[in-house]
């Protein structure tokens, strides 16, 4: 999994570079599109550099099941908590 993480980071940074390059190319004729592309490019780069490395290697444990829920409205089941 560690080797895949390196490739994921590289691909994320490449996507960010493509977005920033596209923003530079369309900046003269379409300012709003250029700002949007640049914003997404910066966001992808920030996520690749700061957020992804903080993600744990192992998945988190599953959430405990909801208790007391019997059914859903409109499906013939009773909704509520017993007691």
Give tens-digit pLDDT for 9-57. 899 999 999 999 999 999 999 999 999 999 999 999 999 888 877 666 6
Counting every residue, how long is the chain?
83
Q: Identify the CA nearest to 22 among candidates 43, 1, 39.
A: 39
Residue 68 near residue 82, CB atoms below 8 Å? yes
Query: What distance in Å separates the CA atoms of residue 7 and residue 4, rounded to the nearest whole number?
Result: 5
- What pLDDT shows up at residue 12? 93
Residue 35 near residue 41, CB atoms below 8 Å? no
Residue 80 has pLDDT above 60, yes or no: no
């Amino acid at each position: 999994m560690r080797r895949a993480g390196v490739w994921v980071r590289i691909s994320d940074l490449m996507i960010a570079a493509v977005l920033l390059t596209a923003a530079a190319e369309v900046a003269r004729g379409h300012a709003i599109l250029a700002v949007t592309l640049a914003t997404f490019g910066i966001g992808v780069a920030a996520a690749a550099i700061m957020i992804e490395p903080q993600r744990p290697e192992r998945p988190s444990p599953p959430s405990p099941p909801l208790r007391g829920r019997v059914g859903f409205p409109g499906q013939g089941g009773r909704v509520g908590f017993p007691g």
